[in-house]
Structure 1
Amino acid sequence: MTVISYNVWFSSMAQEDRYKKIISILLDRHPHVACFQEVIQPFVELVCANKQIQDDYYVTEHPNNLYCRNRRNYGEMMLISRALPRPKSVQFTEFDNSGQGRRFLCAEWEKTTNLPTIGTVHLESLNHFSERHNQLKTISKVLAPFRHALFMGDFNFCAYKDYGYDDGREGEEKKKTENDLHFENAIPGFEDVWSLLPHDDEDKGYTFDSSLNKNIKVKAHDAPGGGEAQEVWRIDRIAQKKLNKTEKEDGEGEGRWEVQEMEVIGRE
């Protein structure tokens, strides 16, 4: 199974050209599941107007529905290959603490298919550590019943370093990175897929990189670093459920889905 996660960026800057390129990448790679964030109506319209996509995928969104009624709002969307069994359910889970309308979208299949449960999310932006932490706790609860599960999207915190602004943490919490605090305390049953796989030493998996993407405004108020001389962050992530202790001891990990390889796309 191949999956893709992509924040399509709701900005009007070169919007149609960017969206068409993303669709081209999708059709070229033809993943089994594609998860998109910051989806607005123009992107949905292009996706739904594409005959090949309609022939090949179940699409969880359609024009004038949900977030897409208002161009100022955005949300998540999944494309699920028709080559897979039809999902048992595809549904949103609300985050009680979001001031930015964030939700968790999750697709579940019948157990007999042995397919992993897959979710996508765009966690709270900017200096909202506690909101992201609680949102991850909610995701962990939603995925708790499933043996095979992964979720992906724009996590809005970097794997390697913290943003340069005050996010409300105090005392002992400031001694660890936001990344470590979340994986240790909010989603301890999950692991960061990129960190599990071999990569070239120079490839840190940056998905937000001003040296490659000239649309990123260095030191802009809406960029993660704000005051950074160069914006380089790995904030778009995939997390998979770990084998628990009993599964490891009993050898029940056999037949479990395992990630074989991972790469950053859209760099061209």
Structure 2
Amino acid sequence: MRVHVIGCSGSFAGPDGAASSYLIEQEDAQGRLWRVLMDLGSGAFGPLQSVIDPAELDAVVVSHLHPDHYLDLTGLEVFWAYHERDDLGRLPIFAPAPLPERIAAVLGRNGDIPDGVGCAPFEHHALTDHDRFTIGPLDFETRRVLHPVEAYGFRITGGGSTLVYSGDTDACDALDELARGADLFLCEAGYIEGRDDRFTGVHLTGRRAGESAAGAGVRHLALTHIPAWTDPEIPLAEARAVHSGPITVVRPMDILEVHP
């Protein structure tokens, strides 16, 4: 399994990169390469096009409906609805149930069919807690995590390896259960200890991400969702203080290999 970091800036697009978006690639037994996009936050649709032709996407999975995780779906919808190709079909989107209404509200329309188009370009699937679904060779398991809105973390298996993506969350049992034994734990660290103690139930710190990784016995912790106003060395140091395994801070256009 391979993960392309399209965007990883926390809470909003930063000066050096877009908000959250990660492209997962996995070959099936017949050698066909499947591509699933995890989140498509503000500013991410542009750099996505430098990595792949978006028409090659097999599905999109959205962790929650804050703009830094879904807003550029509006651009992907335009691409999919009005593309010169007429064989794209409907792109599966797995997301919290209100997504179609949110996209319609952003674009100022009623319903999920773009103007001048005969059918909806997206096929919406509503996520639930403890959901399980399969996209090609990738198996997904969801858990609802701790965030101010309906939000999910994901355990993704394929090719004998396991990737866990936290989405946005504060420390919670559901996240620890998802992360257990993961080969790669792509985990947000949007806050830092001390500075952000007045906020609860929103984001992890580097320390809390490290504690989750240590307790879950993950092989590799990759910190993400660090906002532009935070020096990434701070959450990295926090995580290293409590977790002895390999830790990296992801950056835009990084490629992460997930090895079993």
- Which TM-score band (shorter chain)? 0.3 to 0.5
More strand by share: 2
Q: TM-score, normalised by structure 2?
A: 0.45
More helix by share: 1
Instruction: State which structure, 1 or 2, has the greater radius of gyration over its C-alpha atoms.
Output: 1
Using CA pairs under 8 Å that are at least 6 residues apart, name the structure with larger relative contact order, 1 or 2: 2
